[in-house]
Every structure is written in C-alpha cells, then in structure tokens.
Amino acid sequence: SQQGEEDPQALSIQEGENATMNCSYKTSINNLQWYRQNSGRGLVHLILIRSNEREKHSGRLRVTLDTSKKSSSLLITASRAADTASYFCATDAQGGNTGKLIFGQGTTLQVKP
C-alpha cells in the first residue's frame, strides 16, 4: 500500500546548488515526515510537519505542505557533498492514529563536489 511517492527518483546537482524533492500522498494525514538514508545505513529523521502547518525550516532544510494537493516538498539549500543520500517522505497509514508510517520509495540525491 503506497502512501507517499517521491519525485524525482534520482537527482544529481553540483555542490552549492539547491535540491528540491517532492512527495505526493493519497489519503488525509496527521503529519508528514522526511527521512534521510546514507548508503547501507538506517534512516534518520529530518523534519516533521503537521497537517495544519504550511512550511517548516530546520537549518538548510525547508519543507512545505499543501494538504489541498496532498503534496509536500523538501528543499535543501546550498547543498554539500555530504548531503548525498536517499531521502524519503513518510505519512500515516490510512490517516489513522496508529503511529504506523508508510514510506515512499525515495529520491536518491547525488551532490557533486
């Protein structure tokens, strides 16, 4: 059951450029979360945005949420080679208060030095 789907699947940019990744989902949500995964490792939580929020910032990360379009975007500004990783969005399962997340398939970001 696919809830979140990221776009693009892969992104390659130069260091210093901005990277934008998008996530679309299907059902109503309580919140939407973004995670990062370095190659061969576990996922790390980056940021959580609630359904009643439209934008949130954390350092070089900016997340927007448009519940009318059921979409979110993650912007990484002034990218660094160390930002190279896969990025996943995650949302509730069927919008219920279950604590259970469904993850998209991720966007693979490569930042070239």
Partner 1 sequence: DVKVTQSSRYLVKRTGEKVFLECVQDMDHENMFWYRQDPGLGLRLIYFSYDVKMKEKGDIPEGYSVSREKKERFSLILESASTNQTSMYLCASSSPGRQLPGSYTFGSGTRLTVV
Binding site for partner 1 (CB under 8 A): 1-2, 30-31, 33, 35, 40-45, 48, 50, 88, 90, 92, 97-106
Residue 33 or residue 79: which is nearer to partner 1 going by CB? 33
CA distance 62 to 8: 17
CA distance 111 to 109: 6
The nearest distance, CB 14 to partner 1, in angstroms, is: 26
The nearest distance, CB 73 to partner 1, in angstroms, is: 19
Q: Is-contact 1 99, C-beta < 8 A?
A: no
Q: What is the residue whose two structure tokens read 């693979």?
A: 108
DSSP calls for 66-101: ETTTTEEEEEE-S--GGG-EEEEEEEESTT-SS--E
The nearest distance, CB 48 to partner 1, in angstroms, is: 6
Residue 33 or residue 71: which is nearer to partner 1 going by CB? 33
Residue 68 or residue 97: which is nearer to partner 1 going by CB? 97
Residue 71 or residue 108: which is nearer to partner 1 going by CB? 108
